[in-house]
């Protein structure tokens, strides 16, 4: 049985301990950042090869009240990962899935993906997660801290979270916990919902509508340009391979 995360955004204070723990465990260097836009506290502005986890900030008006929603964004370790489906058509083994934990992992072989190939893999992801390390050419994203799990430890981000926002364990247990928390939160937050719980191993509990969080807090509409792109990639792949 694969593992899953439950991320209950109603408990997140945006302390960003998870973001830092992730960088520390994976020995990822700091980014040069600047304040941007209308003064958001989100930092850095987006996921990148040195940030597998990013706490996104969303500020909006609810009547006269300012609401501030926090969304600790990371790879969802999809149950049937579209990034792997796409990568398999280009470089077999660039993306693999650990059946024991459910972790979706980018391997050393991902360096063989050209920039254009990488964009196809990135576009296949409904949550816009993969990034390319410009120095090494490797694809980068959250690894579920797979090596920690195999050693009986929790993911680094879960371990440091001081508010109980993040839970990690057997998928079945996390789904049950998610349903139970949703039920109790619905009393105060009628809009509360679970984001794509049956498609992903990182289950988000939202207390506001998805558009009041991060734009990819739920899966992008795959009936749009993305699936068309995948469709054309399927048609052109053998031709491109022949040319190579």
Angle (CA) 193-8-174 rounded to 5° is: 85
CB neighbour list of residue 43: distance below 8 Å, 6 or more residues apart: 33, 35
In whole angstroms, give the CA distance from residue 21 to residue 147. Answer: 15
Class of residue 126 by CB neighbours under 10 A (exposed 0-12, middle 13-18, buried 19+): buried
Q: Under rule CB under 6 A, which residues in 88-117 are in contact with ligand SF4? A: 104
Applying CB under 6 A, the span of 33-41, 81-89, 172-180, 209-217 interacting with ligand SF4 comes to 81-89
- DSSP-derived 3-state class of residue 99: coil
Binding ligand SF4 (rule: CB under 6 A), the pick from 10, 42, 58, 165 is 165
- DSSP-derived 3-state class of residue 120: helix
Q: Under rule CB under 6 A, which residues in 31-50 are in contact with ligand SF4? A: none
Angle (CA) 233-238-243 rounded to 5° is: 110
Rank residues 72 and 210 by Cβ distance to ligand SF4 and give the closer one: 72
Binding-site residue total for ligand SF4 (CB under 6 A)? 40
Residue 210 has a CB neighbour count (10 Å cut-off) of 18
Binding ligand SF4 (rule: CB under 6 A), the pick from 6, 18, 178, 207 is 18
Minimum distance from residue 64 beta carbon to ligand SF4 (Å): 26
The H-assigned helical ranges of the chain are: 17-25, 82-88, 115-124, 146-150, 156-160, 171-185, 225-243
Binding ligand SF4 (rule: CB under 6 A), the pick from 90, 105, 156, 192 is 156
Rank residues 76 and 181 by Cβ distance to ligand SF4 and give the closer one: 76
Applying CB under 6 A, the span of 30-38, 42-50, 137-145, 178-186 interacting with ligand SF4 comes to 137-145
Rank residues 30 and 242 by Cβ distance to ligand SF4 and give the closer one: 30
Applying CB under 6 A, the span of 32-40, 58-66, 127-135, 231-239 interacting with ligand SF4 comes to 127-135
Residue listed under structure tokens 């289950």: 203
Binding ligand SF4 (rule: CB under 6 A), the pick from 118, 127, 204, 213 is 127
Cβ atoms of residues 59 and 181 within 8 Å: no
193 scored as a contact of ligand SF4 (CB under 6 A): no
Applying CB under 6 A, the span of 33-41, 142-150, 209-217, 227-235 interacting with ligand SF4 comes to 142-150
In whole angstroms, give the CA distance from residue 83 to residue 154. Answer: 25
Residues interacting with ligand SF4, by CB under 6 A? 12-18, 21-22, 25, 52-53, 55, 72, 74-78, 81-83, 104, 125, 127, 129-130, 141-145, 155-157, 160-161, 163, 165-166
């Amino acid at each position: 049985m694969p593992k899953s995360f439950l991320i209950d955004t109603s408990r997140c204070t945006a302390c960003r301990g998870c973001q830092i723990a992730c960088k520390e465990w994976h020995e990822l260097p700091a980014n040069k950042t600047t304040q941007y836009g209308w003064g958001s506290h989100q930092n850095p502005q987006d996921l990148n090869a040195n940030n597998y986890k990013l706490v996104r900030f969303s500020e909006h008006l609810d009547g006269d009240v300012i609401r501030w929603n926090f969304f600790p964004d990371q790879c969802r370790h999809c149950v049937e990962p579209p990034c792997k489906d796409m990568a398999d058509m280009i470089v077999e083994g660039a993306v693999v899935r650990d059946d024991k934990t459910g972790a979706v992992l980018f391997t050393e072989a991902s360096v063989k993906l050209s920039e254009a190939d990488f964009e196809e893999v990135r576009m296949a992801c409904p949550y816009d997660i993969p990034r390319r390390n410009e120095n090494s050419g490797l694809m980068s994203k959250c690894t579920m801290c797979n090596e920690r799990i195999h050693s009986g430890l929790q993911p680094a981000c879960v371990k440091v979270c001081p508010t109980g926002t993040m839970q990690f364990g057997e998928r079945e247990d996390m789904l049950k916990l998610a349903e139970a928390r949703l039920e109790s939160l619905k009393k105060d937050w009628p809009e509360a919902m679970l984001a794509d719980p049956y498609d992903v191993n990182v289950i988000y509990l939202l207390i506001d509508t998805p558009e009041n969080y991060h734009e990819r807090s739920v899966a992008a509409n795959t009936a749009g340009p993305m699936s068309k792109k995948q469709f054309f990639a399927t048609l052109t792949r053998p031709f491109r391979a022949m040319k190579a």
